[in-house]
Amino acid sequence: MENLPFFPFLIPIVGIIFGTLMIVAIVGIVHWFKARDRELQYSQDLRIREMEHQRKMKELEVELEKAKALQPTGKAAS
């Protein structure tokens, strides 16, 4: 302790630095979790939209096949 005369002044400085770093770390972690939650929500919304789009495309394919099936019979009757 005798060979470090500046040690009493170093303790508050180190405390301030670590306290500030701890606050920055907490804010960073909270921000990261919120961003991750938003990303998961966007991903889920995109997946729901994709499934709805696939369902609509299948419905359109069914309607198209029905129209194609009716078309030759309509030409033969004309």
How far apart CA 54 and CA 69 sit, in angstroms, is: 22
Q: What is the pLDDT of residue 75?
A: 55
Task: Name the strand (E) or helix (H) holding 18.
Answer: helix 7-77
How big is the chain, counted in residues? 78
Q: What is the pLDDT of residue 2?
A: 58
pLDDT, tens only, 15-57: 999 999 999 999 999 999 999 999 999 999 999 999 999 999 9
Q: What is the pLDDT of residue 3?
A: 63
pTM here is 0.58
Q: What is the pLDDT of residue 33?
A: 98
What is the CA 15 to chain-centroid distance, rounded?
37
